[in-house]
Amino acid sequence: MSDVFIELKNIEKHFSGVRALDGVSLTLRKGEIHCLAGENGSGKSTIIKVMSGIYTPDAGEIFIDGEPISQLTPIMAIRKGIQVIYQDFSLFGNLTVAENLTMNVSLRENRKLVNWRRSRELARQVLERLNVDIDLDAEVSSLPTSGKQLVAIARALLSDARLIIMDEPTTALTSKEVETLFRIVKDIQARGITVLFVSHKMREMLEISEHITILRNGKKVAEGEAKDFDEFAIIRHMTGQDVHFE
């Protein structure tokens, strides 16, 4: 059996003259932490939307578990285990942590009625496994950004994610919170789940990822093992310019 979860081949996506993705290929292996890097406007969010079925590419192919997918829809992407943690987390602020986590359990089990006690127990277990101190009865809007992010991650895990995509997840975090996030990302990986970590911060990429893909102007300009990159190489690829630091 192949160790590849999803493969994108020569993906094109154009918006009225802008080549947001210009023939991008990307392979994500099972259980790897893969960093997708690039400056603003390089095409990172567009590729996330292609992988989660929100955008249909103008050309190119998508394979999941080695099978060609002729048209990936958002529902199909969720069924295949693709979960995106957006920068706004898409949570229900006026509901509690437990309610936010529970909604997906009933979706997953295809039930119209929520089995409240069982769902709550699953929600409690997932937070316990993440080893974070979050009150199941707190209203989500009352949590700090890092807490909301953890709820979004817990929700993805409760939906049987096989790939968790995080779009610029450290933007609003303190360095302590980043440490917690990285611990959780490694725990997610230890469960065999793939993580696509989208970022433009060089140090973070080098610290967390095993594999790095760099986009510039909608094209893939570099790809390889994280150990073969340093900060200068990443900046050079992201900007297309030589850099010199004192």
Q: Of 201, 176, 162, 172, which is closest to residue 81 (Cα–Cα)?
A: 162
- List of residues 6+ apart from 152 with CB closer than 8 A: 85, 89, 90, 91
Within 10 angstroms of residue 230's Cβ, the number of other Cβ atoms is 12
Is 38 among the residues that bind ligand ADP (CB under 6 A)? yes
145-158 and 116-130 are packed helices; what angle lies between their axes, rounded to 10 degrees?
120
Is 95 among the residues that bind ligand ADP (CB under 6 A)? no
Is 199 among the residues that bind Mg ion (CB under 5 A)? no
Minimum CB distance to ligand ADP, residue 119 (Å)? 34
Is 15 among the residues that bind ligand ADP (CB under 6 A)? yes
Given the complex with ligand ADP, which of 39 and 187 has the nearer CB atom? 39
Is 41 among the residues that bind ligand ADP (CB under 6 A)? yes
Mask for 29-68, x = binds Mg ion (CB under 5 A): ---------------xx-----------------------
Number of residues that bind Mg ion (CB under 5 A): 2
Sign of the torsion angle spanned by Cα atoms 120, 122, 126, 132:
positive
Minimum CB distance to ligand ADP, residue 133 (Å)? 32
Is 221 among the residues that bind ligand ADP (CB under 6 A)? no
Using the structure block, give the residue that is written with the tokens 């953890």: 150
Minimum CB distance to ligand ADP, residue 26 (Å)? 13
Minimum CB distance to ligand ADP, residue 11 (Å)? 12
Which alpha helices (DSSP H) does the chain contain, by range?
A: 44-51, 74-79, 97-108, 116-130, 145-158, 175-190, 202-208, 231-239
How many angstroms separate the Cα of 132 from the Cα of each of 185, 201, 219?
13, 25, 38
Given the complex with Mg ion, which of 57 and 99 has the nearer CB atom? 57
Residue span binding ligand ADP (CB under 6 A) among the ranges 34-42, 83-91, 104-112, 138-146: 34-42
Given the complex with ligand ADP, which of 68 and 74 has the nearer CB atom? 74
What's the one-letter identity of residue 46?
Answer: T
Q: How far apart are CA 217 and CA 227, in angstroms?
A: 24
Name the site residues for ligand ADP (rule: CB under 6 A): 15, 18, 20, 38, 40-46
